[in-house]
Amino acid sequence: MENHQGEHTANLLLPCLTLKEMDGVALVSFDDRDAKVNTLNSKLIPQFEEVLDYVEKSKTVEALVLISGKKDCFVAGADITELQGADQEGAKNLSMSGQKLFSRMEKLRQPVVAAIDGSCLGGGLELALACDYRLASSSAKTVLGLPEVLLGLLPGAGGTQRLSKIVGLENALKMMLTGMNVRPEKAKKWGLIDYLVFADGLEDKALKVARALAKKQLTPSRAKKTSVMSVLEKTNAGKKFILQKALQQAEKKTRGLYPAPKAIIDVLSYTIEHPEKGYEKESELFAQLSQTPQCHGLISLYFGQSELKKNRYGPVEKSAKNIAVLGAGLMGAGIGLVSLQKKFHVRLRDISQKQLASAKKYIWKSFDRKIKRKSMTRFESQKMLSGLFTQTDLQHFNRCDVVIEAVFEDLELKHKVLKEIEEIESDKIIFASNTSAIPISDIAKVSKRPERVIGMHYFSPVEKMPLLEIIVTEKTSEEVARTAVDIGLRQGKTVIVVKDGPGFYTTRILAPFMDEAAIVALEGLDFYTLDDAMKDFGYPVGPIALIDEVGVDVALHVSETLSKSLGERVNGGETKILSELISKGSKGRKSGKGFFVYDQSPSSWYEKIPGLKKKSVKKPINPEVLSFITQNGKKSVKPVDLEDVQKRLSYRMINEAAYCLQEGILQQAVDG
């Protein structure tokens, strides 16, 4: 329908959808006016059915284009709140209603084109997979993926059935088992999308493609698959072989703790034998998964994390742009890197030129890897790097909004750098410390402006670890806290805010856990069994290996510092072993030995062959620690019950977390 000015008016105007007919093409635009993003929910589904009614009856519509009226979001996924509280039957119905809708669309006589700009995830991608042709914008905000596995689920609206036919079994498994986000360039390479276009030209191109498909002048271009796996995928026996391998890998990675990856593989395996019943199996296992404690736990974590993506102090008046980092070591380089990636200008200062050079190299290498993986263009990388300044002095620091110190963990040194910064004229600078355990109020003691001192505790490696713990003292001003949270969120972090105190929250709950591990070790349980037991419980790293990674000296320092206020709770057994190790020069991985001995011999020539991975062998236990345990350890009387060990360690961590909530270290339970 055209008005007198030649503009097209809507033929269907629904709360979440509009349909405009444009010379034989129905342009269907998703735009839920009551929500920030489009989701597939019980409000949208009947409206989409109305669209299908219209198109099925229409004599003029020759093709459809699905597009979004929202910036940076096509359809962000199914609405998970509707799954919460649903019983197995209800969850099955939800899955089946999505399947039914998409297969009805798939059966339309008219070709359907998905024009994707922004997030196209979960149910959003399942919708796009049921289209005949997919175009995507090359915008940095465009991502495609099936993240259901991260919620303990499987794609329940036909995703398990359609994806492998489009991208091949190998890539489909990669996407479904990891929940990875696929950027447009890779999506094009895999055949997940047929055409890549600049965001501005998306609608025009989609309309042209739709007309060409309607006139049969165009067929969807599928990517050619040439890998060994793609040859294997041609036969059922080959497919089964791939699935069997995937199952072995998934079970090894998840230690059998998560049912969703296995369920995804089960659906795919079942479909090979019973292709006509694949959708039914998908709904059935989707519904079963929705009732598992893993799914409930992961969904609750998801909502918790989403909550923490908001600034609890409200919006900032002026966004910080310039970040200075003191200390270009492991942490300083990482903080610089994540800041540059999010378009901050970064001044990196160290007293050592060598450290500055290493930090720059670290940042370049990380950008290079992204360029190779096609998640960043060279131009973007150069633009970001042009915002990096490295220096050994404090020139231009007065232009910075915040200084984040990441110098050695030494209170005197932290005082020295704080005073140096406060001598700079600007009294607007925020001084943030990345200390792992020194109370922020102790650092702020020498400050002229304690209201501008705060803790910003990142974790290593900064670019991989999502958490940022912000620590406020009694004197930290709300405006400073608001800005620090804003910076953390813009750096892409999940931000928790905690009250100052020994070990803050994260270090504090780890200390009793490590302490109990040392007590168990002194009781004679071997380190491999202990670490494995905790990994079987769900921890990503065992406690003994963790002490070696963190550094035996760092663990001892933390334990001694915290024991001043928490006493036995953090220092019941650990320090004896740790001091002994340190006296022998065993400081953990960094010194070549700690609880375990690390191989520091230069790699053999054959280990340098690209793609050849070193066979993982168990690290030998350090004999020094064994002889200490033999002399000082208490032999356990009963045979060790591993479930008991898991509970002893975990409950001490949980107990400390409860103390933190009770004492107000945690502002709200969700932070914990």
The answer to whether 436 contacts ligand NAI (rule: CB under 6 A) is yes
Query: Least separation, in Å, of the C-beta of 36 and ligand NAI?
Result: 33
Catalytic residue, from 148, 469, 516, 656: name it: 469
CA dihedral 486, 490, 493, 496 (to 10 degrees): 10
Residue of the chain from 173, 308, 406, 578 that contacts ligand NAI (CB under 6 A):
406
Query: Least separation, in Å, of the C-beta of 440 and ligand NAI?
Result: 12
The answer to whether 328 contacts ligand NAI (rule: CB under 6 A) is yes
Contact in structure between 70 and 285 (CB atoms under 8 Å): no
Stretch that binds ligand NAI, among 193-201, 232-240, 361-369, 428-436 (CB under 6 A): 428-436
Alpha helices by DSSP H, 4-158 = 44-57, 88-106, 123-129
Stretch that binds ligand NAI, among 163-171, 228-236, 381-389, 404-412 (CB under 6 A): 404-412
Angstrom distances, CA of residue 173 to CA of 150, 188, 244, 468: 14, 17, 12, 31
Nearer to ligand NAI, 16 or 348 (CB): 348
- Strand, coil or helix: what is 195? strand
Query: Least separation, in Å, of the C-beta of 579 and ligand NAI?
Result: 19
Q: Which of 325, 334, 340, 388 is nearest to 362 (CA)?
A: 334
The answer to whether 191 contacts ligand NAI (rule: CB under 6 A) is no
**466/468 Cα distance (integer angstroms):** 7
Q: Which of 643, 640, 596, 602 is nearest to 622 (CA)?
A: 596
Query: Least separation, in Å, of the C-beta of 486 and ligand NAI?
Result: 21
Residue of the chain from 232, 326, 456, 470 that contacts ligand NAI (CB under 6 A):
326
**304/296 Cα distance (integer angstroms):** 12
Q: Which of 111, 125, 204, 137 is nearest to 163 (CA)?
A: 125
Stretch that binds ligand NAI, among 75-83, 149-157, 250-258, 400-408 (CB under 6 A): 400-408
**348/576 Cα distance (integer angstroms):** 39
Query: Least separation, in Å, of the C-beta of 546 and ligand NAI?
Result: 11
Nearer to ligand NAI, 245 or 564 (CB): 564
Amino acid (1-letter code) at residue 136: A
Tokens found for residue 157: 């609206």
Stretch that binds ligand NAI, among 110-118, 161-169, 406-414, 442-450 (CB under 6 A): 406-414
Spacing of C-alpha 3 from chain mean position: 48
Stretch that binds ligand NAI, among 84-92, 304-312, 433-441, 584-592 (CB under 6 A): 433-441
Spacing of C-alpha 504 from chain mean position: 23
Nearer to ligand NAI, 409 or 479 (CB): 409
Nearer to ligand NAI, 344 or 458 (CB): 458
Nearer to ligand NAI, 108 or 467 (CB): 467
Q: What is the DSSP string of 534-574?
A: HHHHT-SS-HHHHHHHH-HHHHHHHHHHHHHHHGGGT-SSH
- In the region spanning residues 350 to 369, those forming contacts with ligand NAI, defined by CB under 6 A, are 350-352, 355
Known active-site residue 624: no
Amino acid (1-letter code) at residue 638: K
Query: Least separation, in Å, of the C-beta of 209 and ligand NAI?
Result: 50
What beta strand segments (E) does 128-221 contain?
133-137, 143-145, 195-197
Q: b/e for 165-188, b at 16 or more Cβ within 10 A?
A: ebbbbbbbbebbbbbbbbbbbbbb
Nearer to ligand NAI, 404 or 629 (CB): 404
Residue of the chain from 239, 281, 349, 589 that contacts ligand NAI (CB under 6 A):
349
Binding mask 448-487 for ligand NAI (x = CB under 6 A): ----------xxx---------------------------
Nearer to ligand NAI, 124 or 327 (CB): 327
Residue of the chain from 111, 122, 158, 332 that contacts ligand NAI (CB under 6 A):
332
Stretch that binds ligand NAI, among 70-78, 141-149, 402-410, 572-580 (CB under 6 A): 402-410
The answer to whether 407 contacts ligand NAI (rule: CB under 6 A) is yes
Spacing of C-alpha 291 from chain mean position: 24
Amino acid (1-letter code) at residue 161: Q
The answer to whether 329 contacts ligand NAI (rule: CB under 6 A) is yes
Tokens found for residue 616: 């993982």
The answer to whether 586 contacts ligand NAI (rule: CB under 6 A) is no
Residues making contact with ligand NAI (CB under 6 A): 326-332, 349-352, 355, 406-409, 413, 417, 434-436, 458-460
Catalytic residues: 469
